[in-house]
Amino acid sequence: MMDFRMFAALLVFIAMLLVACGGETPTLSDPALIRGQRVFIRECATCHSTKPGVNLVGPSLDGIASSAGTREEGMDSRGYIQLSIIKPSEYVIDGFVDQMPATFGSTLTEEELENVIAYLLTLE
């Protein structure tokens, strides 16, 4: 029987594989973006791909830097991404079920949140 730590490690490994096989991942040199990518791999990649058209549990985040700014009138990409992470039930994409955890606002540190947002803003 698999214990929780082994299961969690397996999920992280699968997430890393998915990201590694995913679409056009930008080359990152900024340490904050690298940390943001790590947060993404750890917390998001199990459910969200960065590969175009590859929807996992949630929608692909390919092109989110461009598309997020068009989703809500008067809201820029950064604001939309931040609120989508903190209050995901308010921003469910058509065709997807409202199942993203609403805990990231309290489980991610402010730095982790800022870094993952910065990373997502590189996904043109």
What percent of the chain has pLDDT above 70?
78
Closest of 70, 124, 65, 60 to residue 96, by C-alpha: 60
* Stretch (H or E) spanning 60: none
Phi-psi region of 75 (alpha: psi -120 to 50; beta: other; left: phi over 0): beta
Least confident of 14-23, 24-33, 114-123: 14-23
Q: What is the pLDDT of residue 17?
A: 46
Residue 20 scores a pLDDT above 50: no
Backbone CA torsion sign across 109, 93, 101, 33? negative
Closest of 97, 75, 58, 79 to residue 40, by C-alpha: 58
| pLDDT, tens digit (0-9, with 9 covering 90-100), for 68-105 | 999 999 999 999 999 999 999 999 999 999 999 999 99
Number of domains comprising the chain: 1
Q: Which domain holds residue 92?
A: 4-120
CATH number at residue 42: 1.10.760.10
Phi, psi of 120 (to 5 degrees): -60, -30
